[in-house]
Amino acid sequence: MATTGSRSTLVLVYLTVAVLVSPALSAPLDGAGFHSATCPQLESIVFSSVQAALQREVALAAGLLRIFFHDCFPQGCDASVYLKGRGTEQAMGPNTTLQPRALQLVEDIRAKVHAACGPTVSCADISALATRDAVVLSGGPNYTVPQGQFDSLAPASQNVVNGLPSPATSSVSALARAFSGKGLRDLADLVALSGAHTVGRTGCPFFRDRAQRMDDAFSRRLAANCSAAPNRLQNLDVVTPDLFDNGYYKALVNSQGVFTSDMVLIKDRTTAPIVQQFARNKDAFFAQFAKSMAKLATAPRPGGNVGEIRRNCFSPNALRAIDTVVEAGEEEGFTASA
């Protein structure tokens, strides 16, 4: 049975560790080379890890891209989407189908990086680098990744996460408003970032609205396929589904977009010329995609670049410290009711 004095000591240690183990940090962003002095192996560790993972499962490229977008769009690229548990972003509607293996891949890379360099690189930076490398290894463009992001101390709110654009969005103006609020004010940003759909697959519930309209041959085919096999996965790019190229835009020109939000890009007079340009010219798409990804990587964070470097991407450092102290207390004979 613990004494009152012992319990007081444990509470003091508990609170001290929670506050001091991970003080909030802040810093401006920098370009490539930010970690060159503290972790020169960083980029080679990330690249080799992503390369090995994609050789086992090509679908991880799309998983990483979707996670990166769902992380950066609500409150900037702060790895908040990686947090697990009650009230976290992963439990919120738009994120419940994020790819678990891609989330785990980033945590696995974090463990390798921290083993080599110590806790000098954030999960946010590793996620950004892993996403870039997945694009490159899938055939897409290389681009500079802004580095120096800190990991958030808490998830984004439900209201903010619900602001993620829906695949059922039926107007370019609605999509443009959502993107503009994140510093992506050029319609070319909207069209180029939608081009991430050049890799990946989705389930029937996500394009049910498009299939049910049956207003063209492709939507009727989608409806028939889902009626025959409701659990099937549909390629988002029906031209070259596993390559990062401009096949997605070629499909749109032929009215073969899977999501309603894809099809509005070719139907709206303000974005159709951009879609047609990217369908004709892969280099034009690659150049704009690289530019738009760099802009997305610096999407505004409401409180600025403030946070920590997590020792585990799935949990804030303070929470991990509390768990450690509680476990230590239980080993000494303390209990939650003592």
Query: Residue ranges per domain, the chain?
Result: 41-200+236-297
The answer to whether 178 and 72 have CB atoms below 8 angstroms apart is no
The answer to whether the annotation marks 71 as part of a ligand binding site is yes
According to the annotation, is 268 in a ligand binding site? no
219/267 Cα distance (integer angstroms): 15
The region of weakest confidence among 15-19, 104-108, 199-203, 259-263 is 15-19
The model's pLDDT over 40-85, given as tens digits with 9 standing for 90+, comes to 999 999 999 999 999 999 999 999 999 999 999 999 999 999 999 9
User: pTM of the entire structure?
Assistant: 0.87
Q: Is the pLDDT at 118 greater than 90, yes or no?
A: yes
Mean pLDDT for the chain overall: 88
Say if CB 70 and CB 164 are below 8 A apart: yes
Domain 41-200+236-297 coded CATH 3.30.565.10: no
Is 78 assigned to a binding site? yes
pLDDT digits (tens, 9 = 90+) for 230-256: 999 999 999 999 999 999 999 999 999
Has 89 been labeled as part of a binding site? yes
3 state SS of 150: coil
Query: Which residues are 203's β-sheet partners?
Result: 233
Catalytic, 70? Answer: yes
- Strands (DSSP E) contained in 94-186 are none
Q: What's the average model confidence in pLDDT over 100-121?
A: 98
Range with the largest mean pLDDT of 8-17, 92-101, 329-338: 92-101
Q: Return the structure tokens found at 232.
A: 């099937």
- Selecting among 70, 132, 182, 210, the annotated active-site residue is 70
